[in-house]
Amino acid sequence: MRVLTGIKPTGRPHLGNYLGSIRPAVALSKERETFLFIADLHALTTIRDATELRELVCDVAATWLACGLDPERTVFYRQSDVPEISELNWILACYTGQGLLDRAHAYKAARDTGEEVNVGLYTYPVLMSADILAFDSTHVPVGQDQKQHLEICRDIATRFNHYHGEVLTVPEPIIDDHVAVIPGLDGRKMSKSYGNTIPLFFERQGVKKKIMSIVSDSTPLEEPKDPDSSLVYQLYSMMAPTDRAAEMADKLRAGGYGWGHAKKELVALFHELFEERAKTYDRLMANRGELEEVFAAGAQRARAQAADTLDRVKKALGLL
Ligand code: ADP
Ligand code: TRP
């Protein structure tokens, strides 16, 4: 079993990313062989500013490393450092029916809302297939929004194999339907697009104020409260170990414990989880040479694997 995941560097990582993506992936990487990469080529479909792209790539990488990703265990690399992926991208494009891409949700959504549709966005699923197939990945954890991309990848691999034999490994999705959607400060899904996020490291100075100003009902302090009625408890229970979450729920139900107290505990828990990690994050952000070394070592391992696959593919095609 080889698990592979890509992270698109299009925003500063927030608590929703941590709970929904980073924490489970880091846990999985302790049990399985894992490939994890920063999908900077995919980000080019939207990002036009060099400084912004560089910052986001570093921020995402520093965040994952600070949150416990071990680059010795996990093959951790930057997509653009592995040119074999782009080479495979072209080959796979020649095995991709246009109809398959015409039906892709992400492209259709952009087209329907009048956003710019560049060919990169249109062929996004092909590059994603190259990401996956270059490493003989057997399993790809994806959210609902990426499910169709994985189906396209399976179609492309199956079509290639139909002509050339079992050259490519057809991957299985791991779709975790029960990963909770983390609510943002306004109660909607926490997302950079809604501006309702709790940042993990970048601009973390504002976190206390953001948490303290979460709107809560005006039940008097001494009255019992319904834990689930408030965002404060929802966030706390998603971050804390089960027994600590149960303790807070009991205190709220018992009365004599206010939302202000709960908010303070939430702030304290945030610090407990991220204060030490922030030091690692700050060090990596201040010392880009260290990050570059991690990327270089990862690219070396990734390229060796991708070159093997490409060799097999080229032999099958008659290019070698
Ligand atoms: P955003 O919604 O801020 O644009 P992304 O779509 O870039 O976030 O999400 C990257 C990863 O983080 C995805 O794997 C997604 O599952 C996870 N994620 C993002 N926001 C949340 C959330 N509110 N709850 C759970 N997981 C989330
Ligand atoms: N498309 C994914 C996203 O938007 C990122 C990604 C790129 C990816 N290549 C991948 C995810 C390969 C899994 C496997 O989140």
- Nearest ligand, CA of residue 132? 2
Atom of ligand 2 at shortest range from CA of 7: 5
How high is the pLDDT of residue 199? 97
Sheet strand arrangement including 172-175: 75-78, 33-38, 2-7, 139-142, 172-175
From the CB of 14, is ligand 2 less than 6 Å away? no
Residue-wise pLDDT for 114-126, tens only, equals: 988 999 999 999 9
Residue partners of 278: CB distance under 8 A and separation at least 6: 66, 201, 204
Place of tokens 């039940």: 219
Give me 166's structure tokens: 């079992």
pLDDT band with cut points at 50, 70 and 90 for residue 141: very high
Alpha carbons 299 and 317: distance in angstroms, whole number: 26
How high is the pLDDT of residue 225? 96
The number of angstroms, rounded, from the C-alpha of 99 to the middle of its chain's C-alpha atoms is: 28
Q: How many residues does the chain have?
A: 320
Contact between residue 198 and residue 15 where contact means Cβ atoms under 8 Å apart: yes
How high is the pLDDT of residue 217? 85
From the CB of 8, is ligand 2 less than 6 Å away? yes
Ligand 2 atom 6: the closest Cα is on which residue?
Answer: 6
Domains and CATH numbers, the chain: 2-181+288-317 (3.40.50.620), 204-281 (1.10.240.10)
List, chain by chain if needed, residues with CB within 6 Å of any ligand 1 atom.
10-11, 16-17, 20-21, 143, 181-182, 189-193
Residue-wise pLDDT for 71-109, tens only, equals: 999 999 999 999 999 999 999 999 999 999 999 999 999
pTM here is: 0.96
Residue-wise pLDDT for 274-308, tens only, equals: 999 999 999 999 999 999 999 999 999 999 999 99
Say how many Å lie between the CA of residue 7 and the centre of ligand 2: 6
Say how many Å lie between the CA of residue 181 and the centre of ligand 1: 8
Say how many Å lie between the CA of residue 250 and the centre of ligand 1: 30
Contact between residue 141 and residue 27 where contact means Cβ atoms under 8 Å apart: no
Angle among Cα 228, 230, 231 to the nearest 5 degrees reads: 110
Residue-wise pLDDT for 173-230, tens only, equals: 998 777 789 999 999 999 999 999 999 999 999 999 999 999 988 889 999 999 999 9
Best probe residue, ligand 1, of 7, 21, 196, 202 (max atoms within 8 Å of C-beta): 21
Burial class (CB in 10 A: 0-12, 13-18, 19+), 167: middle
Contact between residue 67 and residue 22 where contact means Cβ atoms under 8 Å apart: yes
Burial class (CB in 10 A: 0-12, 13-18, 19+), 244: middle
